[in-house]
């Protein structure tokens, strides 16, 4: 028997970049959010006297050797579990490669989860997160799911109070963005700036303020829950829509943004235009985004919307301008785990 796993994607609702560290990495503060969009991983593992690994994919751009994060994860996981096995993995790619949506990192986390199920053995939670961080900075977040606060390289992860599920449009440009080059461009920009604000602290405070005492977060409680103007009853979906909109608007009011946009947009002007298309006309409530930004270093961009109709209008704007666009929803933690296994 094999195990099939939905390898979900992520966006960065906001991302602040600190100065380069002595190890060459940059300190980050970011708020990850998992999405319904996913790759599909099929893994079969049987204990054996020696380790054997076969990796295949429907996408020729996916490396099928030690360069692949899923391969690295298997090697490290087997060493940590102290077992040998014959393993075959197939990665059905549905997510963009080099798109800033964490696809490769999610594949690695999904393979670990599938491997544990196949072998009926698992690592303790802290060991799993430590191992994931060794494979890649974005891997640990996919062992938590939902809204996740990421610090340091992004690998120090903390479960964040989940944002309500909302509609999301992902714009997938044809070109990719090199993350190492984006960091080099950021360092060059930082050298020219006289003011050096502590962006890491600013964004951390913004996230913390979102869940401050009631009445201080910007979310105004409904004095008559379940009632609409005129006395009619709100539906459960209507209440959820209001909660999603209020929470996201509160997050936007904190000044959340992605620092990478300062260097990626000048290098790729078309991405700035795609963000405008996702935003729509802020003066018009209908069809405009609650928030839109680059995800990670790109090239994927996202917009979050009040309703499916608004999301479809944004998708049409982006596609009419010649860029592929996908509609999905954000995936809170409970749904992330209950829907992960594709039986």
| Residue 114 main-chain phi, psi, to 5 deg | -65, -40
82 annotated active-site: no
Tokens coding 175: 């070109």
First to last CA, the chain: 11
Which of 39, 93, 138, 162 is the catalytic position? Answer: 138
Classify 301 as helix, strand or coil: strand
Q: State the Cα–Cα distance between residues 114 and 117, nearest whole angstrom.
A: 5
Tokens coding 110: 């999904």
Q: Give the pairing of strands 301-305 and 85-92.
A: unpaired
Sign of CA dihedral 266, 268, 273, 277: negative
Sign of CA dihedral 28, 34, 39, 44: positive
Dihedral Cα 192, 195, 199, 201, nearest 10 deg: 150
10 annotated active-site: yes
Catalytic residue numbers? 10, 138
């Amino acid at each position: 028997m094999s195990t099939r796993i939905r390898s979900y994607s992520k966006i960065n609702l906001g991302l602040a970049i600190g100065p380069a560290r002595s190890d060459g990495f940059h300190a980050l503060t970011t708020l990850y959010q998992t999405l319904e969009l996913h790759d599909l991983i099929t893994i079969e593992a049987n204990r054996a006297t020696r380790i054997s690994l076969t990796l295949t994919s429907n996408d020729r751009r996916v490396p099928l050797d030690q360069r692949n994060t899923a391969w690295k994860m298997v090697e490290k996981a087997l060493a940590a579990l102290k077992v040998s096995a014959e393993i075959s993995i197939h990665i059905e790619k549905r997510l963009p490669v080099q798109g800033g949506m964490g696809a490769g990192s999610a594949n690695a986390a999904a393979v670990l989860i599938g491997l544990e199920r196949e072998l009926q053995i698992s690592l303790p939670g802290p060991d799993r997160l430590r191992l994931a961080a060794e494979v890649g900075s974005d891997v640990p977040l996919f062992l938590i799911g939902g809204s996740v606060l990421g610090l340091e390289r992004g690998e120090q992860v903390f479960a964040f109070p989940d944002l309500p599920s909302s509609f999301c449009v992902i714009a997938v440009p044809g070109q990719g963005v090199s993350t190492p080059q984006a960091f080099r461009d950021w360092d060059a920009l930082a050298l020219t700036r006289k003011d050096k604000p502590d962006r890491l602290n600013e964004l951390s405070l913004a996230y913390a303020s979102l869940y401050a005492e009631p009445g201080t977060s910007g979310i105004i409680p409904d004095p008559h829950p379940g009632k609409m103007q005129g006395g009619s009853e709100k539906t459960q979906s209507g209440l959820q829509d209001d909660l999603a909109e209020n929470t996201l608007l509160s997050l936007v009011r904190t000044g959340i943004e992605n620092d990478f946009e300062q260097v990626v947009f000048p290098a790729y002007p078309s991405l700035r235009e795609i963000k405008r298309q996702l935003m729509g006309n802020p003066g018009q409530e209908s069809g405009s985004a609650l928030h839109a930004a680059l995800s990670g270093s790109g090239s994927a961009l996202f917009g979050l919307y009040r309703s499916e109709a608004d999301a479809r209008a944004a998708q049409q704007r982006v596609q009419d301008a010649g860029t592929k666009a996908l509609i999905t929803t954000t995936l809170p933690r409970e749904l992330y785990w209950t829907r992960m296994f594709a039986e």
